[in-house]
C-alpha cells in the first residue's frame, strides 16, 4: 500500500481497513475490471500515451489475471481495500513497474463507474433472458389449459367466469412490461464514464469513442462530474427488479391460496414444496412464500440506495461504495426467483374439476343477467338493481341462478323470457369477444401474440 499512499506517513488503522474495505463483495467486478483495463491499455498505446510494448506487457498481465479470476485462483488481499486495487497490485507483481502505467488517464472513480455499468449491462441481458423463460412457462401452461374455466375475482370475491389461460396471461403482460423497462434501463446503463477522471476529465489525448466501441457501450457520458457520481442506472435496475418481484409476489400469493384446502384449485409439485417438522400431513408452498418474502428484500435495496443518494454533494463520495451490495443481492434474488418459478409453473397440476365446481356453485353470472336486461331495453343501473334483488332472492331460497323458474324471474322484470336460461358459464366467456377479453378466440390471439414475441426474441438471440 505504500506505493499508492504517498500522502500518508502511516498505514490506516486496522479497524479503518476493515470498515472501508469492499473486497468481500466487489470481487464480482474482477472480470469486467480486467477487461476494461485491457481496452484502456490498448487505447493508451493507440494514442501514444504509452508504448505498444508497454501496452502488450500490461495486456498480457491482465489476461493472465483474468484467467486467475475465472479459475478462482486469484489471491484476494483485504488490506488493498477493493478488487480494483487488488488487480493493479497483482499486475505490478506480475510485470513490474510498467504495470503502474495502467492507471494513466483514469481515476478509481471513473474506473469503478465503468465496471459497475459493464457488470450491470450483462446482468440486464441475463435478467431479460430469464424473464423470457418465465413468460414461456406461463404460455405453455396457458395453452395446455386453454379450455379450462376458472372463477375470476375482485376483492378476493368470486366475480365473473374467465378462462384460466386468460388469467395466467395477465402475468405475461406484467412481465412484458418488465422486459420493456429493463431494455430502457439498458440504454441508460450503456453510457461510458471512463475518461472522466476523478471528476474533471483527464489531461491526455484519450479516445473515448474507441473505448466505448471496444467495451460495447452505446454512448459516452457528456459531463465528467455527473459521470462519476451518477447511480441512476442502478436505482433504475433496483426499481425494475422491485416491480418484477412484485409481479412474481402477486403470482406467489395466488399459488399459495390456490394450493390451500380452502381453494384446492392446483397442486404444486413435491419438488417445489416442503413438509412440516411436526405435522406429517402438511405440504407447504415454501417457494412461493419465500418469493413473496424476498420481494421486501429487493425493495429494501432500492430504498437503501435512494436514501444514500439523496444527500450526496457532487461529485464522488465514499458513500457510493454502498451501491454494490444491494445491486448484487437484488440481481441474485431476482434471477433465482425467476428461474425457480419457470420450473415450478411447468410442474403445477391444475384441478379442473375443482375449478368447474367453483364456477358453477356461485352467482358469477349475475352480470350476464343484468346485461341480458340491458339488451332488452332496460337502463343498466335499473338492470343492475333488479339483478341484485334476484341474487338475494336466490340466496334466501337456497337456489342457484340457473335453478330459478321463469315465473320467479318475471317477478323482477317482465322482460325476462325463456332465453334467459341460455345464459351459461360458457356463453358468458364467449360473449366477451373483444380485444383483451376472456373469450377463447381472444385468448388464442393473446397466446399467438406471446409466441410471436418469444420467437422474435429467440431469433435475435441466435444472431449473437
Which residues have CB under 8 Å from 325's CB, separation 6+? 25
- How far apart (Å, rounded) are the C-alpha atoms in residues 365 and 325? 52
Residue 170 cell numbers, joined: 395477465
- How far apart (Å, rounded) are the C-alpha atoms in residues 271 and 81? 42
Residue 248's nearest CA partner among 122, 126, 130 is: 130
Which residues have CB under 8 Å from 355's CB, separation 6+? 148, 149, 150, 151, 164, 265
DSSP 13: P
Neighbours of 103 (CB within 10 A): 17
- How far apart (Å, rounded) are the C-alpha atoms in residues 370 and 224? 64
Query: Cell 446503463, residue?
Result: 189
- How far apart (Å, rounded) are the C-alpha atoms in residues 265 and 257? 9
The CA-based angle 325-331-336, given to 5 degrees, is 125
Longest pairwise C-alpha distance within the chain: 101
Residues marked as catalytic:
155, 276
Contact in structure between 201 and 195 (CB atoms under 8 Å): yes
Rounded to an integer, what is the distance from CA 250 to the centroid of its chain?
13
Residue 95 cell numbers, joined: 510485470
Amino acid at each position: 500500500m505504500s506505493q499508492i499512499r504517498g500522502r500518508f506517513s502511516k498505514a490506516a488503522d486496522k479497524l479503518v481497513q476493515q470498515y472501508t474495505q469492499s473486497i468481500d463483495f466487489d470481487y464480482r467486478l474482477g472480470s469486467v475490471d480486467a477487461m476494461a483495463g485491457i481496452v484502456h491499455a490498448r487505447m493508451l498505446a493507440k494514442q501514444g500515451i504509452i508504448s505498444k510494448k508497454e501496452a502488450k506487457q500490461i495486456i498480457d498481465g491482465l489476461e493472465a489475471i483474468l484467467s486467475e479470476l475465472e479459475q478462482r485462483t486469484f489471491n484476494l488481499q483485504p488490506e488493498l481495500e477493493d478488487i480494483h486495487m487488488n488487480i493493479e497490485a497483482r499486475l505490478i507483481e506480475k510485470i513490474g513497474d510498467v504495470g503502474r502505467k495502467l492507471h494513466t488517464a483514469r481515476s478509481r472513480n471513473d474506473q469503478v463507474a465503468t465496471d459497475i455499468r459493464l457488470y450491470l449491462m450483462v446482468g440486464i441481458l441475463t435478467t431479460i433472458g430469464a424473464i423470457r423463460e418465465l413468460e414461456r412457462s406461463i404460455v405453455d401452461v396457458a395453452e395446455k389449459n386453454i379450455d379450462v374455466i376458472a372463477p375470476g375475482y375482485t376483492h378476493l370475491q368470486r366475480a365473473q367466469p374467465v378462462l384460466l389461460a386468460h388469467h395466467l396471461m395477465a402475468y405475461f403482460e406484467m412481465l412484458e412490461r418488465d422486459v420493456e423497462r429493463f431494455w430502457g434501463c439498458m440504454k441508460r446503463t450503456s453510457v461510458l464514464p471512463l475518461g472522466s477522471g476523478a471528476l474533471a476529465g483527464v489531461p491526455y489525448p484519450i479516445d473515448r469513442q474507441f473505448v466505448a466501441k471496444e467495451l460495447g457501450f452505446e454512448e459516452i457520458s457528456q459531463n465528467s462530474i455527473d459521470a462519476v457520481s451518477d447511480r441512476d442506472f442502478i436505482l433504475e435496475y433496483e426499481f425494475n427488479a422491485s416491480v418484477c418481484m412484485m409481479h412474481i409476489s402477486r403470482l406467489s400469493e395466488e399459488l399459495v391460496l390456490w394450493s390451500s384446502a380452502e381453494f384446492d384449485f392446483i397442486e404444486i409439485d413435491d419438488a417445489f414444496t416442503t413438509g412440516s417438522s411436526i405435522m406429517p400431513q402438511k405440504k407447504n408452498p415454501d417457494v412461493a412464500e419465500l418469493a413473496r418474502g424476498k420481494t421486501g428484500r429487493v425493495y429494501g435495496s432500492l430504498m437503501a440506495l435512494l436514501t444514500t443518494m439523496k444527500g450526496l454533494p457532487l461529485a464522488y463520495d465514499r458513500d457510493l461504495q454502498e451501491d454494490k451490495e444491494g445491486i448484487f443481492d437484488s440481481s441474485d434474488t431476482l434471477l433465482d426467483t425467476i428461474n425457480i418459478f419457470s420450473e415450478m409453473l411447468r410442474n403445477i397440476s391444475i384441478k379442473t374439476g375443482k375449478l368447474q365446481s367453483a364456477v358453477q356453485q356461485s352467482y358469477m353470472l349475475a352480470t350476464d343477467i343484468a346485461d341480458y336486461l340491458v339488451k332488452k331495453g332496460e337502463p343498466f343501473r335499473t338492470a343492475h338493481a333488479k339483478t341484485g334483488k334476484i341474487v338475494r332472492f336466490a340466496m334466501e331460497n337456497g337456489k342457484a341462478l340457473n335453478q330459478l323458474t321463469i315465473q320467479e324471474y318475471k317477478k323482477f322484470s317482465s322482460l325476462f323470457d325463456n332465453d334467459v336460461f341460455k345464459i351459461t358459464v360458457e356463453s358468458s366467456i364467449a360473449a366477451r369477444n373483444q380485444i383483451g377479453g376472456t373469450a377463447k378466440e381472444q385468448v388464442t390471439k393473446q397466446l399467438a401474440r406471446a409466441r410471436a414475441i418469444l420467437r422474435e426474441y429467440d431469433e435475435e438471440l441466435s444472431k449473437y
